[in-house]
Amino acid sequence: MSIDPGKRGLPAAGSQTIPTKDAIYTLTALGKDGSVSQPRRIAVHTHQPGEVVSAHGKLDSGIAKVLSFAALNGDQPISSAKIGDSIKLTAITSAAAESVKIEGHEATLTDLGDGTKQADATVTLDATHDGRFDCQAISAGEVAHSLQLHLEIHPAAEATTTQAPATTRAPSPTTQPPATTTEAPATPAPTTTKAPKTKMTGSTITVGGKHFVDWFNEDFRPKHPGNHPTLLLWKQPAPMFPTKLNKANFIKVFDKIDKLWAPELTVPEFLAFFGIFYNETGGTIQPAGEVGGAKYMFNATPGGKASYTTGGNRLAGNQLKAMGVISSAADIAAWNGTVYPDSASDAVKKAALQCDFYKYRGHGFIQTTFRPAYLSTVDPALKSSGYAKTCDQMTTEELENVIKTDPNVSLPMVRSFYKANCSKTMAAINNEPPNWYPIGRTVSGQKPYGDLFQWRCETIYAAMKKAGYTVQ
C-alpha cells in the first residue's frame, strides 16, 4: 500500500497515524507484479471542539455536470458528417451524475475510475437531423446540467439536374412603328434617412463618442470599483470590472468576427463573447495559457477548481511510464493520484509538463480545458489551418504557441465550442431582455460564474444604450 503524501511501502493490512489537519490523501494498492490499483481519494476535515458536524461526507464535489460532449467517427472527433453516417456521441460526466440522457434517451454510464463517468450513444443521421444534439446529466431525478453539440450535416450526395434548353421565340412578323414620346421633367426623389446600423462587422463600436475600449476604460469601469456586494466568484466576493482592456488586442480579435462566429454580430451577441474573454484573459484579450504552475493544475482547490488529472485527461503516472521516465509502482501510483507528488525529482516534474493535466489546462480566449474539449475544438482548427500535427502529437510548448499566436486556431476553437454547446442560447440572445447566463454557466460549469457573467453583460449593455452607441 501507499498513502500519499507521506507513506509508501506499507503492509497490505494494518493502521497508520496521520496528522490532525485538513488534508487530502490518495490510497493505492500495489501488486507484487508491479501492478497498481486505481487510486482512492480520502479527504480529512478538522473542526473546532464543540462544533456540530456530520460524520459522513461525499468524497467528490457532489456536482453533476457534463464535462464534455463530442461526436466521433471511429475514435476521431468530427465537426461535420453526412446523411446516412453512423456516428458515436460520447459524453464525459462528473462522478455525481446518476444517469445521462443523450438525445432524450438514457445511455449507460461507465465509471472511468478517475472521478468521471462515460456514456456513449450511436446515431444514424437522416434528413430530420438539424445538427444539434443534446446531452443531460441527471441527479436526484432532475436535469442538473446539459451541453449541446452542433455538427454540420451535409447531404449524402449532391443531386445533379440537367436543365432543358431554353426555347428561342421567333421575331414578330410585324414591324411596329416607333412611338413618339415626350419625357416629363424628372421629379426629385424624396429625402430618406438611413436607419442606424445594428450589426457590427469589425471592432469599431463607438459609445458616447468614444471607441468602445476607451469608453470602457475611461468612463464605464471607474463607475464600478471594487467587488460586487452580493455576487461571488470561486467562493470569494466577485470583482465587478477589475482590469482595463487592451485596445490593440481587442481590435485584432474583433476585426476577425467572421472566424469567431459570423460575418456580423449584434451587440448582445458581441457581449456574449466579450464578457467571457474579459474574465478569462483578465482584460488582455490574448489567448494565453492558464498560469499557476503544475501543482496548481494537478490539485483541486478549495475555491472549486477541479483537479486536471480528471475530466477525460489521461493519468500522468501512466503517461510518464510510457515515456520511460518512471517505472516503480509507487511512483506510477503517486502520479496517477490527485495530490501533486512534491517529492518527485526535478527531472520527473519537468517531464510531467508534457502530460495531459498540464498540457490540457486552460488555453485560449475561453480557457478551454481537458483533453476531450481540445480534440473536438482545437484539432479541427489545426487541420483546417494546415498543421501536420494534432494536439496529442504536439508538445505542450508547441500547442501553447500555436493557440497564442495563430488566430486561425484560437478563434475557430471558440466558435466550435459555442456552436457545440451554446447554439440555442446564441439563437435567442437577441430577445429582450437578453439572457447571457447559460453561456457563463456552460463555459465555467458553475452557477456563480453564470450569475456574474449575466450581471456584467446587462450592466455594460444598459450603460451603452444610455450613452448612445453606433457600430460599423
3-state secondary structure 320-334: HHHHCCCCCHHHHHH
Q: Cα–chain-centroid distance for residue 253?
A: 18
By residue count, the chain amounts to 472
Confidence of residue 436 (pLDDT cuts 50, 70, 90): very high
Q: What are phi and psi of 209, to 5 degrees?
A: 85, 5
| Angstrom distance (rounded) from CA 69 to CA 420 | 8
Cell of 466: 444610455
pLDDT on residue 174: 35
DSSP symbol at 218: I
- For the residues 192-201, what does the mean pLDDT come to? 60
Cβ contacts of 253-258, under 8 Å, gap ≥ 24:
253/203, 253/277, 253/285, 253/365, 253/407, 253/411, 254/200, 254/202, 254/203, 255/202, 255/203, 256/407, 256/411, 257/200, 257/201, 257/202
pLDDT on residue 267: 96
pLDDT on residue 36: 57
pLDDT on residue 7: 64
Domain ranges for the chain, please list them. Answer: 66-154, 199-287+419-471
Does residue 149 contact residue 417 with C-beta atoms inside 8 Å? no
Topology (CATH level 3) of domain 66-154: Immunoglobulin-like (2.60.40)
Q: What angle do CA 237, 214, 463 make, to 5 degrees?
A: 60
Does residue 276 contact residue 453 with C-beta atoms inside 8 Å? yes
pLDDT on residue 74: 75
Confidence of residue 57 (pLDDT cuts 50, 70, 90): very low
* Pairing label, strands 152-154, 80-82: parallel
| Angstrom distance (rounded) from CA 194 to CA 207 | 19
Q: Is the pLDDT of residue 306 over 50?
A: yes
